[in-house]
Amino acid sequence: MMKSKLTRIIINTFSYLIVLISFYYIIYTLKGYDLSVYFVNGALLTILYIIIFGLIKSIFLFVNSYIFKIILEYNNSENLSLLTVLNIYVKSNITKYIPSNIMPYVSRIYLGDKAGLGKINITISGLLEILLGLSNTAIIILLFLLTGLAQFPKDVNFQLNYSTISLIFLFFIIGAFLMFLAYLVYLYRNRRLSKTEIFKDFNRLLNKYFNFQFFSLYLRIFILSFISFILSSVVFYIMVLVILNFKLNPSDFFNIAICLAIAGYTAILTPGVPGGIGVKESISVLLISLYGYEKAPIVLAVILSRIVWVFSDILSYFLVFIFGKLKRTNPNIDLKE
């Protein structure tokens, strides 16, 4: 008990130290710059744009909810109402702003179990969502780099070859194995199954996730992830241009898309940081600035993006809440897909 408490204290201290360093970096970067040149719109127009882009960005959260829905359906072997999954996914998503990266997953398990979907199914589907999200992002980045659509910064002396690609895929294979191992440990400690029963469950999982049906599911998720990857970068480009009057080079479109994706995942994987606040922004600035951009406007761009994302999360929460109220008053209202 004492060890667990000490571990939490160390993790939280480390996390908030990272946040403080990130905020210091952001503030230091803005020091001495005339930022007024980037605020060409009035306050009301800027707020209106934030609302509009918040509405647009909420679509990406609904797409992620749909991806989680089809993963759940595959694991449960039954169709689920999209409203049910939105109620779980969107509401748990808002808890990412509580200090602890696991809160969205803990609350998702709680809400999913309350909805009758079962803790184990929600847990497995959540692990699968993370694994597929990471692997899809890695594959998309590799595709852009291998096709020449994206390039490493000139100052970065790194070459992408087949040995590097092999190491990356080996990393994901090891990650998948560790996730399965974590699941076995969970079964052993919480369900109190014998080793024979656990290995039977493990063989069942292997048969379930290594077949054509799962490959078909993966292709659907990959296509949705690819579209979201591209469109989220398009929204970022337009948002920065419209609100800050800052034009990003079109030739850097795929480079910046990759930078934002990497920053997003490093923030998610940073322990204890609520919503990756500060960390995501500072890493975005560091990566994008490698392509020759001044840091100050990039700082403003990623701060703006954070504000819009927070608004879209809150907006999505209330939309699902309101639709749930309407559903209770009129049971005929539903979302099947």
User: 231: number of CA atoms within 13 Å, CB side?
Assistant: 14
| Residue 335 within a domain | no
Angle at 267 between CA 264 and CA 269, to 5 degrees: 110
| Residue 9 within a domain | no
What is the DSSP code (8-state) at residue 247?
P
How far, rounded to the nearest angstrom, does the alpha carbon of residue 232 sit from its chain's CA centroid? 12
| Residue 225 within a domain | yes
| Calpha distance 124→165 (Å, rounded) | 27
pTM of the model: 0.85
| Residue 208 within a domain | yes
Q: Residues 195, 199, 204, 205: is their CA dihedral positive or negative?
A: positive
| Calpha distance 54→50 (Å, rounded) | 6
| Residue 148 within a domain | yes
| Residue 24 within a domain | no
| Calpha distance 18→82 (Å, rounded) | 37
R_g (Cα) of the chain, nearest Å: 21
| Calpha distance 334→331 (Å, rounded) | 7
- The one-digit pLDDT tens for each residue of the chain (337 residues) are 455 667 666 766 777 787 788 888 888 888 877 777 777 778 899 999 999 999 999 999 999 999 999 999 998 878 888 889 999 999 999 988 887 677 888 899 999 989 888 888 898 898 889 888 988 998 899 889 888 899 988 877 666 666 666 676 677 677 767 766 676 666 566 655 566 666 666 677 777 788 889 999 999 999 999 999 999 999 999 999 999 989 999 999 999 999 999 998 876 666 667 777 888 899 999 999 999 999 999 999 999 999 999 999 999 999 998 887 777 776 665 555 5
| Residue 38 within a domain | no
Instruction: Output phi, psi for 294, to 5 deg.
Output: -65, 145
How far, rounded to the nearest angstrom, does the alpha carbon of residue 13 sit from its chain's CA centroid? 23
The domain of 222 spans 43-329
What's the residue count for the chain?
337
| Residue 11 within a domain | no
Q: CA dist 318 to 57, 203, 225, Å? A: 14, 42, 25
User: What tokens does 53 get?
Assistant: 């882009």
Nearest to 15 by CA among 137, 109, 133, 98: 98
Say how many domains are in the chain: 1
